[in-house]
Chains A and B, each alone.
Chain A
């Protein structure tokens, strides 16, 4: 009798544990309809900073107040983490309803069934023409849209007008070609013995990398053409790589590395501190100049072109809005996406963040364009290229970058590097077929 009771007690323990475990499982918010009858959708972003969070949440609150059917809930996830969590959520069948995602691999996510084809919604509300064509092309997969462009950026040459005057250069006549850029840079160099007090320009400082220069020097052609064929080993890119190397040869690699390591943020920024007279950055760099370089007299110009007529090509990036595959409320998500990419929200985002936006009308708004730097950045979008990930070689950068490094370390010639990079990429593409 006593033993039977004990046995019964033993069996109860794991059952109790299981019940407790079940009770601890968090209940999903969206599984219950709201008392007010509204549909709640979950919106994931990585904008949690003091600056960005109030801006995006104001846009959300305005949307929530503008209609009585949908409530958007903002979920912040750290930059980077948001992508891996999205992957896990999509795989688990419990994703957000709307997510801000990276522009570069919309097509990769589409090919992997991670986002939603927006064609049915676009047939009802065709808003394709409201976006910059380059940005719209970027969200297509098999000629169908899987995201809406949200924001973007573009890179420009910032130059120090005071330094120009001191060097006897016209402060309202920035360099237009590579030859002028080099000529002006040499005049702007200031040396104290063997040490540079000011460097006129170095192409790889700032926010314009080897990839971008290779594109700029090759008539706007990146590593892949429209048919997914490699265009890495081209005469334009070879000439560009030699040209970039000549800058390092002139200044000295040790000088380049040492000075770059000294660059900081804010007051110690390369351009603001006067270490560099010309510097390539995005349009949003202006906010740093306003905050830390109040007395600076500077101008902005398009990226110099290789030779007259070859094109002031620049590179851009940005973020898109997507409906992850398996979202519970795609129709409501679409309504919110339309609002996010509409004129009012985009103009608000542009003005509060000093950021470039995807909506053409909002970007060209007169009020926003009263700022000359912003206006210049909007104009620069016309010659700005985006480079989505090629599906046949999605991790191409891991194979190309080492060869570019080897050139600047003197271990490969430009010709060798481009030939080897092309071969590596073609090998990778062959694997992925």
Chain B
């Protein structure tokens, strides 16, 4: 009894300490990768964004000059940011709604449903530059399939990839083609909605729409949230579409396809203004971070978690 008074907490056992050490040793390779390959480059780029670093000839500290130039002297910074915001604002809701509708459609018990699910999913697994060239053919103003179909119903389609009004809608349309990926997510979550909820609601006379609004939507809202966040973050990083579908990444007609990352790429690798490009990367990071935090905050109002007490 007397011996116990002096001890404030139990001494950690030799075995536990040994296990702790072994645990750290096992994750050491991953830690080395994290610090060496992720954190160090991030911090280096943060420092470099306050310099005139150009990779091969100089790295002088210049304070906030890169950031000041960005906001006050570079019209293409704002142009590329607004192009990217336009893309995100339209692409995220459209692909999300498109995915949900497609999933609802393919969640019915119909003969041959596996076949249709496979067909709609296929575009999502196609990737790479070949897809962009395919779409350049489809979007051709006269011989392209899309304008041909439009002409059958009396609409004279635009020059999708050269009319600055239509270049970004064309890219968004391409993105809609690949909603199969999102469809799969929603299909899985839809099949997780308990059937008894629908039965109870139907018994009480709820219409199809009210069942959708009050049962289906709340039950799949966590997956919607996940999809929106990842699409949102991915949307800000759009680059390949602008690079491949304009000549040598030139930005297209009136710079209408000059996305933020494409402008950053030009600054980094065409004019070697690497410090400025790294500053742009941090600004993008800040924008995406703030908007994602806002998204997280707003999600408390509409995302329903089943096990949560309301």
Contacts and interface: CB of A to CB of B under 8 A. Distances in A.
Interface residues of B, number: 37
Nearest to B269: A84
Interface stretch (A228-236, A311-319, A399-407): A399-407
Given A14-B28, A84-B269, A261-B143, A424 B56 contact: no
A402 B248 CA distance: 15
Contact of A431 (B56, B57, B69): B69
B269 A258 contact: no
Interface in B229-246: none
Contact of B258 (A80, A398, A406): A398
Interface stretch (A109-117, A121-129, A346-354): A109-117
Given A262-B143, A424-B75, A427-B73, A395 B271 contact: yes
Interface stretch (A3-11, A132-140, A279-287, A364-372): A3-11
Interface string A47-65: 0000000000000000000
Contacts of B28: 14
B29 interface: yes
Interface string A396-433: 01110110011001010000000000001001101100
B175 interface: no
B159 interface: yes
A325 interface: yes
Contacts of A395: 266-267, 270-271
A424 B76 CA distance: 10
Nearest to A110: B57
B270 A10 contact: no
Interface of B: 18, 22, 25, 28-29, 54-57, 69, 73-76, 140-144, 159, 162-164, 248, 250-251, 253-255, 258, 263, 266-267, 269-272
A112 B29 contact: no
Given A10-B22, A11-B25, A258-B141, A113 B255 contact: no
A279 to B, nearest CB: 19
A267 to B, nearest CB: 15
A108 interface: yes
Contacts, number: 86
A113 B57 contact: yes
A91 interface: yes
A397 B249 CA distance: 12
A262 B148 CA distance: 13
A121 to B, nearest CB: 21
Contacts of A14: 25, 28-29
Contacts of B55: 87, 90-91, 112
Contact of A10 (B25, B69, B143, B253): B25
Given A13-B25, A14-B29, A401-B250, A257 B159 contact: yes
A399 B80 CA distance: 12
A262 B142 CA distance: 7
A80 B267 CA distance: 15
A411 B165 CA distance: 12
Contacts of B251: 398, 401-402
